[in-house]
Amino acid sequence: MATIAQNPLFGWRDVGELGDLERLRLVLEYLPDEPLMRTLEQARGRGRDEYPVRAMWNTLLAGIVFGHESVASLRRELLRNAQLRELCGLDPLAGVAAVAPGWVYTRFMRRLLESHEEVEAIFDRLVDALCEELPEFGRVIAVDGKAIGSHARGGRQTANYRWPPGRRRDADADWGVKSYRGERQDGSLWETVKRWFGYELHLMVDAAYELPLAFSVTRASAAEAPEAHRLLDAVSERHPEILSRCETFCADKGYDDGKLIRRLWDEHRIKPVVDIRNCRQDGEESRLVEGTENVVYTYRGEVCCVCPQTGTTHPMAYGGFEADRETLKYRCPARHYGYACAGAEECPIKQAVRIPLSEDRRVFTPLARSSYAWQRAYARRSAVERVNGRLDVSFGFERHFIRGQAKMRLRCTLALSVMLAMALGRIREQQASLIRSLVRSA
């Protein structure tokens, strides 16, 4: 907390509940920002201190907590709300004169950009604190990307077109495209294409508590799978205890990468639950399992046996994963389900077959794609989508005025740090039922 030594005229905590300001109090009290405050105060030195660093920082956090999309909106609220000014540490004797003008916030944001490492260290300290408070924190990880548009008009720079001069351009941003495909119940195919000009937030969250663990901000055109490797590197370096306790890693087909799947299991013993793309040639529905005569599998990991008598395929019963052998066990469906098979005597599969992961590392994973457990685990991937929704609705990312990758990363860092600080405050003040809430007060 950016502690401010002053004697307020009114003891708001003695008068009664803070109401909506209670959420800001949690953030101010549990945010580990003292190293950043000392860095900023040292940089200011003996310069003018009409607008103290700590008070400016607290008002900036208030803008994040209450979802103000601009500094102008935040200043209007500070000019109107005396209780908010006092909670942020502004001089109560100065009244509205204590609210800094817009150009002061511009300079303060510039100082924060120069101290971006200290700002990001706040996020890491909060993750470490939550690891101590929540033994299950990080057990199930979900990853996804979030499109964030730039507050600038996108254009294509060609031989006949150049970016217009002025401050409205955003040279860091570019165009991103995402395609979503599927099949309707009647068998027809559908496709939705989303295009945006700006950036992409790559977010790794805890699927149980729906809280962020790591993140990165890239141009919109950046691929998702390489960023997943960088996020793993960051967590392995800064929070190794999270990877040691993690059991499953959930992601959509944008992260379908053989190297990522192998790395998760081989290096960290984490079960990858990543949706798969169909990379097979047209018309290739199944492949024969090496070393067998009549066992085939699809690109989605569905294992079937072919009856030697009738030539029909039957889905085999999943028998579990054998970690010591790194094989998936599938049982004869006729024996397991108890029905008669015309080719039972001729079938080379008497009871079961073991398929090693090395058969196809993208298709065969420690948690079999054909199992109900895989489906239940993959459903937890939606946790990261809910976190993305809170960023839009509660923290104002649906409408913002940010240009530049550095500013966008700073805004994301502040928003995610506020989310973690509020959750940490809920836990330590015995309000764990509100750990995901960003708008409700106790």
Please report the pLDDT score of residue 10 as a whole number. Answer: 42
CA distances from 125 to 129, 131, 212, 214, 420 (A): 6, 10, 12, 12, 10
pLDDT higher for 120 or 280? 120
- Read off φ and ψ for residue 75, nearest 5 degrees: -65, -40
For the segment 295-317, the average pLDDT, to the nearest whole number, is: 90
Structure-token match 């003040």, residue found: 429
Residues 6+ apart with CB under 8 A from 281: none
20, 52 contact by CB (below 8 A): no
Mapping DSSP to helix (H, G, I), strand (E, B) and coil, where does residue 134 land?
coil
**How far is the C-alpha of 252 from the C-alpha of 361, rounded, in Å?**
17
Mapping DSSP to helix (H, G, I), strand (E, B) and coil, where does residue 329 land?
strand
**How far is the C-alpha of 199 from the C-alpha of 404, rounded, in Å?**
9
Please report the pLDDT score of residue 418 as a whole number. Answer: 95
Please write the tens of the pLDDT for every residue from 262-297: 999 999 999 999 999 888 877 788 899 998 888 999
Structure-token match 């087909």, residue found: 253
Please report the pLDDT score of residue 159 as a whole number. Answer: 44
